[in-house]
Amino acid sequence: MAQKKNIDSLQLLRAIAVSLVILLHAGSNGTTKFAAANPIGSFYHLETWGAIGVDLFFAISGFIMTIVMPAYLKPGGWKTFFVKRAVRILPLYYLLSALLVFTTVFIHHQALNIESVVKTLIFFPLFDSKTIVSPLMGVGWSLSYEIYFYTLIGMLLIFKKDLYRRMLLLIVVLSIAGLLIPTEIPLLKFLTSPILLEFGFGIVCGLVYQKFNKLELLPSQKKAISVGLLLTGLVLMCATIFVRPDFDLHSITLVQNVNEKAFYRALLWGLPSAIFMLGTILTMQSFHKRTPAACVLSGDASYSAYLIHTKVYLMFAYVFKYLSLGPVLYLIIIVPACLMVSIVFYRLVEKPLIKIFTRPKKAVAILPG
């Protein structure tokens, strides 16, 4: 039962993460379509703070790997791991990217950046020149790091021993190399990006979670520790709204091309996000709370929401402009609206698409004669 609750709480965290990203983009881009100013734009740094949702996603990915990796230790398990990750990520991403190419070229009659096209197909910046470019779908930049993280795990699964120790050591070595070895080669910057530390924080939280469940503590002690972690992570996350560092944490260009900036983001956003994640999971478990079904469903649809929300919030922005409605109401309803559309999209598109690639092959009957 504990494992099921753990899975449900992760879906809650996914829903929170994608909601933050939706709020970020809707506030900075959506409101500009029909309002003179973003209503939260003047409140310290809240306007760009929603980008922390990506860091929470990275921590969640690291945590999940500590749970699922043992299942792939059997012979050939690394192949199964790669296939399942690919089926989960690639079909929908490629489908939506193809639609974007079609609309860009044949409807808007605009030229495409060939580097962005290549980056969309292979994720890794193998042919990027001077700086790391974003794929055609802007939000796809984070998927490049997800794919890289999964690639490292798949390679380590071949060894089958000391998986977590090897993975954490590799992440630390790569991050240190990225900080100490100057390079202008985009691929090397990508491979040694300290943003990998955020996945490492998630792995550490996964290991702590497993150890925590084995400790002989009173229920009240477990509750106190769990709530303490949750509040600590949340306070540290929110603190960056009011205390601005010497650069924009949300800037994708800076994070991808300047490893020092990626390192600061990992510490200021990634570590607090991981602590918040662990605290949330342990709190839900310690208090025996079930995640509301709507939150679980929103978590299930979080990947769809992440990929399509940039179009959804724009459609709502044009509706609000036509109806002469204000930006405050827009920001209040845009997150649940995007999530509801994404749930429908998940059920009608993403889920059936995954089934196509996971459908077991039917045995062929050999008739006599």
The DSSP symbol for 115 reads H
* pLDDT at position 145: 98
User: Maximum distance among all alpha carbons in the chain?
Assistant: 80
Average pLDDT of span 268-295: 96
Average pLDDT, the chain: 92
Average pLDDT of span 94-105: 96
DSSP string, 327-344: HHHHHHHHHHHHHHHHHH
Domain positions in the chain: 2-358
Share of the chain above pLDDT 90, in %: 84
pLDDT (tens digit, 9 = 90+) per residue, 60-92?
999 999 999 989 988 889 999 999 999 999 999
pLDDT (tens digit, 9 = 90+) per residue, 292-308?
999 999 999 999 999 99
Determine the Cα–Cα distance for residues 25 and 252; give it in Å rounded to an integer.
13
Determine contact, residues 140/125, Cβ cutoff 8 Å. Answer: no
| Position 273 pLDDT exceeds 70 | yes
**Global confidence as pTM:** 0.94
| Position 367 pLDDT exceeds 70 | no
| Position 363 pLDDT exceeds 70 | no
The DSSP symbol for 31 reads G
Determine the Cα–Cα distance for residues 22 and 149; give it in Å rounded to an integer.
24
